[in-house]
Amino acid sequence: MAELVYDETGRLLFTKEMKEEYTILIPMMMPTHFNIMKSVLIHNGYKMELLDTDGPEIAQTGLKYVHNDTCYPAILVIGQLIHALESGKYDVHKTALMITQTGGGCRASNYIHLLRKALHKAGFDFVPIISLNLSGLEKNPGFSLTLPMIRELAAALVYGDVIMLAANQTRPYEVTKGETNALVEKWSQKISDEFANGFGYKTKEIEESLYEICKEFSEIKVKKVPKVKVGIVGEIYVKYARLGNNDLERFLAEQDCEVCLPGLMGFVMFKVDNRLEDIKLYGGNKLKYSVANMLMKFLQKMEKMIIDCTEKYGFLPPSPYTHTKKLVKGVIGYGSKMGEGWLLTAEMLELAETGFENIVCTQPFGCLPNHINGKGAVRKIKSINPKANIVTIDYDPGAPKVNQENRIKLMLAVAREELDKTISKNNKKKKK
């Protein structure tokens, strides 16, 4: 068994020996993206497992070890990790945990410290935690993000966004039920296999695969009928994670809606852009600015691929980040960047602009940045686009699911009225 090694602050390190022996557990957030990203880490020599457990016991486990006033995603993520350690499924002396860390002012940057406190309370002090970040935080001798790994993870992000977009625009209309999900599985596995064999992440390879993905999704037989279109925005975890939003996408599908989830690329670009904006607003290191600027240009290149391939095969492409950023000018300042910051407001404006006027704004109860940029921006958004039909939903351990769904149903009732009016108006035009 690998020897436990601590740094000068007393933090337990993930060592090179542990890389050989330990299984690393990661909380699930976005199934398609995370499964492809998992394959990147496996291909680079790490033993990885995604946790997709759910049920009330996850939140209850989190509440045992985390204060109930803490951010809801922290309660769920920590609860899911400790629940896994307590399940008996893993050799806890050969298990490590991994969570992301942005290093920003949001409480999410402190999840890793809350997790260590929770592990101590639960008697798992010997379990190492790995911080996945690009900010130089918490380094470990047994884990490092190499340049090829970063390129592969960026490619996984692009693939995930395109597969998610194409699937969400195809699934509600497919003639043969299950065909879209089968194609999602096929491409997720195919990309993972390519990564395992050392290709699929170079620019030309990504571009070729993206066009092939969009082509295959466009060939699924569909029957286009008018449906209520709903966009989902909010705090990144409750926006994407089934565990965090009570399987919101499934619920909206059951209500016969087409769902739009903005891709992860916009959020990543937002985080890089924040570094540039900080230096513009407050001054800073020119070298850091140059590096961030280079990364931004690379991401813009990837973003253009996403837009071009989806547009070519008849899908509604995401708006360019530069356009999304312009939408919020005069509404909220670019200095508002905690959590999802101004991007949350901008995504609602973008969704309303592109035909997804009906919006569910998901937010953890007590999340100040999301209440300001989400709930606090609703009135302004409606003054800009009167068609915007927005409901804000708080998620926390004490929020009854039935209350959340009833509020969403009220929003959908208004949406259906508007859809019926549009259909009636179009039918009258046809008769003329």
Looking at per-residue pLDDT, the higher value among 354 and 105 belongs to 354
- List, for residues 404-425, the tens digit of each pLDDT value: 999 999 999 999 999 998 888 8
- pLDDT for res 200: 87
Is residue 339 within 8 Å of residue 108, measured between CB atoms?
A: yes
Domains and CATH numbers, the chain: 16-144 (3.40.50), 226-263+320-432 (3.40.50)
Tell me the CB-side half-sphere exposure of residue 309, using CA atoms within 13 A.
25
Residue 320: Cβ-neighbour burial (10 angstroms; 0-12, 13-18, 19+): middle
Element (H, E) at 97: strand 95-100
Taking the complete model, does pTM exceed 0.85, yes or no?
yes
Where residue 362 falls (left for φ over 0; alpha for ψ -120 to 50; beta otherwise) is beta
Structure tokens at 220: 């699924």
- pLDDT for res 216: 98
- List, for residues 13-42, the tens digit of each pLDDT value: 999 999 999 999 999 999 999 999 999 999
- pLDDT for res 291: 87
Q: What are residue 278's phi and psi, to 5 degrees?
A: -60, -45
